[in-house]
Amino acid sequence: MATGMAGFIGIRLKLESVRLTAAALLDTVTAWAPLATAKERTDLLTRLEKARVANKDAGIDDATNFVSTTIKSVKD
């Protein structure tokens, strides 16, 4: 689910769709991040950065930063 959502915000979409998706990732990251494999987490971090850059006007920096920090804090 998280990979699909992160991929979804990695492309340029309507700002409200991007904001809602980023909010969903933010609200659920603590539940799914520990379940992701190391490769999935790496892929997600790459997609989140692309999403942040591609949607710089969407106001998702705080959400993507929090999600990225949470993903990086997961220990194998």
Question: What per-residue confidence (pLDDT) applies to 8?
Answer: 53
**Average pLDDT, 10 consecutive residues per value, the chain (76 residues):** 55 77 94 95 91 86 95 94
Structural domain span for residue 45: 2-72
CA atoms 28, 29, 35, 36: torsion sign? positive
Model confidence, pTM: 0.81
What contacts 60, CB < 8 A, 6 or more positions away?
9, 18, 19, 22, 51, 52
Question: What per-residue confidence (pLDDT) applies to 7?
Answer: 57
Question: What per-residue confidence (pLDDT) applies to 76?
Answer: 83
Question: What per-residue confidence (pLDDT) applies to 64?
Answer: 92
Domain total of the chain? 1
Question: What per-residue confidence (pLDDT) applies to 51?
Answer: 85
